[in-house]
Amino acid sequence: MKLPSEDNQTVGAFLREKLTNMAGWIEEELGKENIRVVLKQHIAERTEVEIAYVVGVLYSNSTLITHKDWSGLARLGELPTPLLEVLDNVRKREDMHDKFWRYMEMFVEVISNSES
């Protein structure tokens, strides 16, 4: 995985790219018709600051990700509704769990590396 500093990309732009990739995967797996929000569009409408903020919330609660704590993530009041909806849908599909948690771990790692 190429980190933002390796190609002069901002952290926000890098996170947007990876979130868009995740959204495409989720839409493909779940079917767009089964998700109330068009995820890629929702991400495109967010600023890099908004995206970094949400990923910062995940970083601040990284123990939930380390322990793959679905309920803990679902209780985070700072996460946007579309992400909570995705969380609920993916939770119901065990075949999607591993990749979902790898995305979450990557987001936390990116924010962690951006602080150094």
Task: Note the maximum CA span of the chain.
Answer: 41
Rg (CA), the chain: 13
**In angstroms, rounded to a whole number, what is the distance separating the alpha carbons of residues 43 and 65?**
21
Q: Average pLDDT per run of 10 along the chain, which is 116 residues long?
A: 62 94 94 85 92 94 96 91 89 96 96 78
80 sits in the region (left: phi over 0; alpha: psi -120 to 50; else beta) called: beta
Token pair for 22: 């995740």
- Amino acid at the residue 11: V
pTM for the model: 0.87
Q: What is the pLDDT of residue 55?
A: 93
Distance of alpha carbon 10 from alpha carbon 114, whole angstroms: 10
